[in-house]
Structure formats: structure tokens, C-alpha cells
Amino acid sequence: MSSLDNEEYYPRIDGKFFRVGREKFFPKGLVYGPFASGTEGECFKGVEETREDLQQVRRAGANLLRVYHTPPRWFMDMAEELGVMLLIDVPWHKDVCFLDSPERRAAAIDAVKKAAEACLGVESVFALSVVNEIPPDIVRWSGPGKVAEFIDELISAVKKIDARRLCTFGNFPPTEYLSPSQVDFHCFNVYLHEREDYRRYISKLQIIAGNKPLVLGELGMDSLREGEIEQAHFLEWQIEDAFCKGAAGVVVFSFTDEWYKGGREVDDWKFGITTRSRDRKPAFFRVRTQFEKAPYFPLAHAPAVSVIIACYNGAATLRPCLESLIQLRYPKYEVILVDDGSTDKTVEIAGEFPEFKLIRHSENLGLSVARDSGIAVASGEIVAFMDADCRADEDWLYYLARSFEDDEFHAMGGPNLPPADDSVMAAVVNASPGGPAHVMLDDRYAEHVPGCNMAFRKSVLSAIGGFDPVFTKAGDDVDICWRLRKIGADIGFSPAALVWHHRRSGVVGYLTQQYGYGQAEALLVKKHPEKFNFMGGGLWRGRIYSHARPVFPACSRHIYHGRFGAGMFQSIYSANWMPSVSVFTTLEYHFLLTLPLALISLVFNFIAPMAIVSFGASIGACVVSAYNADIPKDKRRFWSKSIVGLMWLLQPLVRGVARYRRRLASPRTPLAEHENLVSLSLKKERVRFDQIRYWDEAGIGRLAFLAEIISGLEQENWEFRNDQGWNRYDVEIIGSRWCRLRLLTVAEVYEGGRMMIKCRLKPFMSFASKIVLTGVMVTALLLLQFGTYPVVWGGVTGAVLVFLLWIFHKSKRDLGRVVSVFLDRVAEKLELKKV
């Protein structure tokens, strides 16, 4: 039956997985052939032998065959008849420098076109692989960028003939850095014999695959060298670990030991689960058992999960959200819906789902309070959170629970993808900056996971007191992740535990959301100042995985090829000096550079070109970011990237204005409120406060002293940041807008076990004070050089400068004095004796 007019039976991508019709399809495959060429030059067996083989393939539990030549039509029809799908690799001469020759390029394109035409409308064809394992030295010779572009060109050739046909290419560790953009899913051939290495590498491949499905296109073991029993055991855990790590499918190499390559029979390798005569090895039965279980291997312990949804006026998306939770494939879970004072039809919709718990707030108390209300009644060992504008994949909880069980994490996140039915404008918003993104420290550990898809052990939430109610609209997820990391808790990421998350469908809604994020950032700066730089930008240690791409592509990575390009694992490494064009779009950049240059140019015309260049850098940054925007083809319009560029210009301004407005509305505690009678009595004395020493005769220790200092700072509402392991100070205390102080401690050990703790206090001017001084000095120089009355203006600005320097010096001295008295109080509490 032809499926040209029956799209339902075409395999299609669904997030990190595949679907055929309405059901998920997990490829469980075997490699088949190639065999010695027959009379017609085909690398396949005869009709009767093939039928017997395919029947045995089905008995092994496989639903897919990977073949390395385009099969004849009778083979495809037989596969369809027996319920076997085909992953077809298109052969062409890829072991030469094919990009150096127009004829070879044309031959490769012609080969994939013929394969696409041969498979047109055939239901049994799962996907076409346009090339398999390009030699790494060939890629290095031609350049990975050009090779990736050519792979995209091959895929485009297939799509022009059959737009619905899934396409990939067979990659392997020596070229893992190849990243063509047009592949529908990632296919990797992986041969690793150590289980931990294998598990870690799958985690790495999931990061490489991103939001696309990952299929292990070849895995196996040679029974000739390792033995048939060891081969069976090996394939057992390889299949299980692949599916448990979220792979969408696996293909075992191979069905039989019979195998031809390069015009000869390969007789010194035995990778088959059957012999050449088709006798079944132990691996056959082990593979069948695992394929029958896959992908849902039983959990040794399936923890009860409480799913909490905080909803405020979310009626527009709530029904499909709750419907998706009914469909979850997980044995122990409850759903708790917290209505946070909604005025729409939220309660009415909730009434349609009596099996779910409903908590109602009489007024809108904010996101954190709503989530804490859900935690209070949750009975699950794991507490998972999802937003009301999300839909859960039916296996969401299975993969979350699996990741908790396998890796002993305290918290877990997963991807949030825009649903296929989102609007064209939502696709534009998805490619714009500021969307929900996870931040990865490496392939397994996360620094942050978005609140629309996160889960925690309930015990760890109780240990840190739940969510902070100060975060009413956003920022709660960032705050709780940072607090967890402060107590040493590990946050993981499960690539297969996905939810579908609707993006804003209009410019106004998007910018309103970003304004709220800016307000949340102001609260985060106050609570976690060590996580932000002097300009208010977040200091992430990990890599942010976002659809927005603000980085110059040519500068975004280095590739380790190994000596002479022969490394078995040739990996991608991000460059530490990687320039981000987003700096040119920040509010601080406009306020500190573009705006002053523009104002000065009104008086001094020669400054105008500099102002134009400064603003041009911002526009250029928006153009680069829009050019790199990842927008699906079916959602792309001629104006899409122009809107993305506009979002890159407006979003940092809107978010920055909200951040500073909130920060200015919440002024820091005045330094005078930290003064006491002792510090006031020292105000007029000529005492230095730059170094203080204490005898520690009770063995308290420097770290305990620092812990008490931090506790005291928190109790007295000081704004401060402490060392996160990257600084040359222990604590930085923010005294006012104009000055700060850095405290560094050291412990000296003397005879008899006596210890002296030395404290160095280093007050310094804040970034704001340096900006003010710089502005005054620049103004003074310009007035002296070009002003009408240079002497008068020079005297005025000089007096202003002296006054400011006195103010800043006084602020630094006052801060040092107050902090020194504070340290004396801490030392007295710990019975340390001041020297």
C-alpha cells in the first residue's frame, strides 16, 4: 500500500522520539548485510533466503533493519509485509576527498536522489542515511564546516523529492563534532566495552543531539575474540543502558556473521547474533529479551511522584495540560493543581478532572507560595513541577524517575520544547533571547533547570525550606537551584524527560514576560550577589543551552583532533575567550557608551562618528543573532528573522529597565544602620582598619570563623557575596553604592598548636563611583579643551572632582571601621582574642 497520500503512516519526529501514526515508535534494529553481489549486482540474498532471514529478525524482537545499499522494491515490500522498517544508508565514494572534485560531489548527490526516488511512497522505509562514517582525515582536510554543509546539501536533495522522508547520516566518535543542521535525528555508531564509559558517552551524545532524537546506529561485540557468552551479556546491558539514557532507538551490529566488505567475505570478525548458517547464538535470545522490554525497563524502585502545577489565569492552556498528565505511563503519581487566585475559568476546568487534587488561594499570592502550597500536601518522594502552559510527554515521569534512580541526583530537569501546533510568531519568540533554558556544567550535571520542567527529592526541598515567597512571577527556579548547589546538592538533566511548552504568541506578551524576568533578576542580584558581575550580568559557570544564538559561529568552539588528526574521540571544546555579541545590546552598554557619546556629539561634532559606530555595533549584534536564529522551516516567513533581530534589540533594554527599576526601588540598607556606639567612638580616631589579627587558642579554625561571619552578615541584612571557589577573597561586603570591601583571611600555625587568624580588609570604590569619576574627568577635559571659559569650567569641575574623591574616601574609611567592629564582635562570640 502506497503512503504517498497517507501521511499518518510516515515516521515523523516528536521531540526526542519518533511516532508512526499516533503511537511512539522505538527503533529496535539489526544490521543486515551487505552480502556478496548476486547476478543483478544487488548486495542482498535471494527472495526465499531473505524471507527466512526477515522472519528470524522478527523472532529476535527487532522492528527495523539497517542496510548499507538501497534494496530492490521486492525487498521493501517484503519488509512491509513482515512488519520490518528499513534504515537505508546510501553508498557513494566517501573515502576520497570528495569536496575537491565537482564530479564526485555530483555523483554523491545523484546517489541520494536515486535512493530517494526508489523509496518514494514506501511505508517500510524508516529513514535514509545520506552517508555513513566519513573518515576523520577527510573531514579535517576539507574542513568540518564544509563537510557539514555538504551533508545538508545531500539531505536537501532528498527532501526535494520526498519532503516527509526522515534523513540522517551515520556519525561516529572520530567525527562527533560534525553538526549538519538539516538532520532529522542524530545517528551514532558506538563501540565501547566498558559500561561506565558507554553510559557517560551516551550522555555526551544526548548533549550533542540537543532537542533531536538520538539513535545508536551500530553497537556490538565480536564473539570470535570475546566469546559468545560475553557477547550476549554485553549486548544485554548495552541495549538497556541506551534506552534508559533516553536514546530513541538502537541498532545491533549485526544479524548474522555473514558479511562482505570491499569485495571480499569478512571471516575474521563475528559480530552476528546468528552464525553464517543462521544458527542462533546466546546473544540472539538476550537481544530478544531486551527488545521485548525496551524502552521501559523496570525500575528497581519506582518512587511515588507528586506533580504540582501552579496556575494563575491559565485557562487557555490548562485543559490540554491536565489531559496530558492523565496519559502518563508511570505507576505511582498524583497531580496537585494550585489555583493561585485565578479570575478566569481555571476552577471550572479543574472540576473536569476530579482525580486530581485542587488547592485554591483566595487571592494571587505568587508563584513561589503556590508551589510551596503544593509541596505541603504532596505525598510523593519526588516532587515534579510543570507550568499550566505545558503538555507532558507520556514518558516524562518514567525518564525523570529513571535518572533519579540511576545517578542519585537530588534534583532533575529536562528539555522544554515548543509544540508543533505553536504559531508562527511563537516560533520567532522561541528563537529570541531570554527563553527558558537549562545550564549544563558538563554532560550530566546542571547548574540550572527551568521551572517549567524540574523535579526534586522532597527531602531536599524540606532541607532548604522550599521556595522563597519573594519570587512571585519568575526567578524562583534560579534561586532554588543556586541554593541547592550551595549545600552541595547535585542537579541532573534527563534529555528524554521532555515537556511541550508554549511560547508567547506576540511581541507585547513576550516583552511583558521579559520585564517580569528583569524584576526577578533584581531580586536575585540582592539575594545572590556573588552570581552577578558588576554590571548585573549573570555569572554562569556552565553552558547555556538556548535556541537564541548570540555567538559568532566561527569563534564558538575548538576541536581536538588527536595527533595528526587520528584521535578516536575527537571532541568539541568551547573557547573561553568566545565573544558574545549580546554585550552590545545590553542596557549598560547603551547607557555607559552609546548614550554619552550621542549627548557629547551634540556639542562636539567630531564625536558623532564614534556614537554612530557604537550604535552600529548594537545593530550589527542584532543582525548576527537574527542570522543565526534557529526557526523551523515550516514556521519561517520572510519577516521572521527581522522580528528576531528586533527582539534582540528590545529584550535587553526592557529586561534591564525592569531590573534597575526594581533595584532602585529597593535601596540597600544604609551604612549608618550597621553602626553602633563602638564603631561611632572610633570615627574620629586615627586608626587603620586594613588588617586585624586574632589569637585562636581553642582550635576554632578559620573556616568556622568565616561561617560565623557569613551568618552574622545575613542576620544584620548586609548585602554581600562570598567566594565560590574562583576569587582571591573570602567575602565581599557591599557597603553603599559608592564603596565595597573585600575580606581575605589566613591562618598561621605556631608552636604548641596556637593559631593566629589574620584578616585583611580592602575597601575600594564601586563600579558606579568609578563611572561617576570618569564622567566628571572626561567632561572636565572636554570643557578645558573646547569650552568657552576653560578656566572657570576647569575650576568648577576640579572642585566637583575633589569633593567626590573626599566623599568616596570617607565612605571607604567608614565601611572599614564598621566592618572591623563587626569582626571584633564575631571574634568575641567565638572567644578569639584580638592582638
Predicted local confidence at residue 455, as pLDDT: 97
Res 228 pLDDT > 80: yes
In the chain, % of residues over pLDDT 70 = 89
C-alpha cell at 515: 520585564
- 45-59, 254-268, 510-524, 643-657: least confidently modelled range: 254-268
What is the C-alpha end-to-end distance of the chain, expressed in Å?
93
Rg (CA), the chain: 32
Res 125 pLDDT > 70: yes
Predicted local confidence at residue 578, as pLDDT: 40
How does DSSP classify residue 7? G
Better pLDDT: 288 or 541 = 288
C-alpha cell at 20: 508512526
181-218: string of b/e by CB count within 10 Å (b at 16+)? ebbbbbbbbbbbeeeeebbbbbbbbbbbbebbbbbbbb
Better pLDDT: 250 or 8 = 250
Predicted local confidence at residue 253, as pLDDT: 95
Res 457 pLDDT > 90: yes
Residues in contact with 237: Cβ distance below 8 Å, sequence separation at least 6, in sequence order: 195
Res 34 pLDDT > 60: yes
Q: Is the peptide bond prior to 136 cis by the omega test (within 30 degrees of 0)? A: no
Res 552 pLDDT > 50: no
Q: Could you give phi then psi for residue 739, rounded to 5 degrees?
A: -150, 155
Res 318 pLDDT > 80: yes
- What is the pLDDT averaged over residues 43-48? 89
* Tens digit of each residue's pLDDT (9 = 90 or more) over 234-260: 999 999 999 999 999 999 999 999 988
Predicted local confidence at residue 266, as pLDDT: 84
**CA separation for the pair 393, 431 (Å, rounded):** 22
Query: What is the spatial order of strands in the sheet that 416-417 belongs to?
Result: 390-392, 499-501, 416-417
The band of 749, judged by pLDDT with boundaries at 50, 70 and 90, is: confident
On the CB side of 78, CA atoms within 13 Å amount to 20
C-alpha cell at 785: 579643551
Predicted local confidence at residue 553, as pLDDT: 44
Better pLDDT: 490 or 754 = 490
- What is the pLDDT averaged over residues 491-501? 95
Res 727 pLDDT > 80: no
- What is the pLDDT averaged over residues 194-210? 93
Dihedral of alpha carbons 189, 195, 201, 207, sign? positive
Predicted local confidence at residue 785, as pLDDT: 66
- What is the pLDDT averaged over residues 328-332? 95
* Tens digit of each residue's pLDDT (9 = 90 or more) over 608-667: 899 899 999 999 989 988 888 888 888 888 999 999 999 999 999 999 898 888 776 665
Res 7 pLDDT > 80: no
Predicted local confidence at residue 569, as pLDDT: 57
- What is the pLDDT averaged over residues 197-226? 94
- 54-58, 215-219, 414-418, 733-737: least confidently modelled range: 733-737
The band of 697, judged by pLDDT with boundaries at 50, 70 and 90, is: confident
- What is the pLDDT averaged over residues 553-558? 46
Predicted local confidence at residue 579, as pLDDT: 44
**CA separation for the pair 593, 774 (Å, rounded):** 12
- 231-240, 256-265, 699-708: least confidently modelled range: 256-265
Res 89 pLDDT > 90: yes
Predicted local confidence at residue 669, as pLDDT: 59
**CA separation for the pair 416, 390 (Å, rounded):** 8
pTM for this one? 0.83
**CA separation for the pair 306, 324 (Å, rounded):** 15
**CA separation for the pair 307, 375 (Å, rounded):** 9
- What is the pLDDT averaged over residues 272-284? 96
C-alpha cell at 200: 557517560
Res 2 pLDDT > 70: no
Predicted local confidence at residue 681, as pLDDT: 57
131-140: string of b/e by CB count within 10 Å (b at 16+)? bbbbebebbb
Q: Could you give phi then psi for residue 315, rounded to 5 degrees?
A: -60, -30
Strands 739-749 and 731-734: antiparallel
The band of 536, judged by pLDDT with boundaries at 50, 70 and 90, is: low
Report the mean per-residue pLDDT for the chain. 87
Res 563 pLDDT > 50: no
Res 475 pLDDT > 80: yes
Res 110 pLDDT > 90: yes
Helix and strand numbers (H, E) in the chain are 25, 34
* Tens digit of each residue's pLDDT (9 = 90 or more) over 379-395: 999 999 999 999 999 99
DSSP assignment string, 8-58: GGS-EEETTEEEETTEEE--EEEE-------TTS-SS--HHHHHHHHHHHH
Res 571 pLDDT > 70: no
Check if the beta carbon of residue 86 is closer than 8 Å to that of residue 65.
yes
Cβ atoms within 10 Å, residue 759: 22
Res 577 pLDDT > 80: no
Check if the beta carbon of residue 256 is closer than 8 Å to that of residue 275.
yes
| Residue 696 DSSP SS3 | strand
How does DSSP classify residue 328? -
Q: Which residue, among 341, 332, 538, 316, has the nearest Cα to 439 in the 3D structure? A: 538
Q: Which helix (H) or strand (E) holds 810?
A: helix 790-829
- What is the pLDDT averaged over residues 328-351? 95
Check if the beta carbon of residue 308 is closer than 8 Å to that of residue 338.
yes
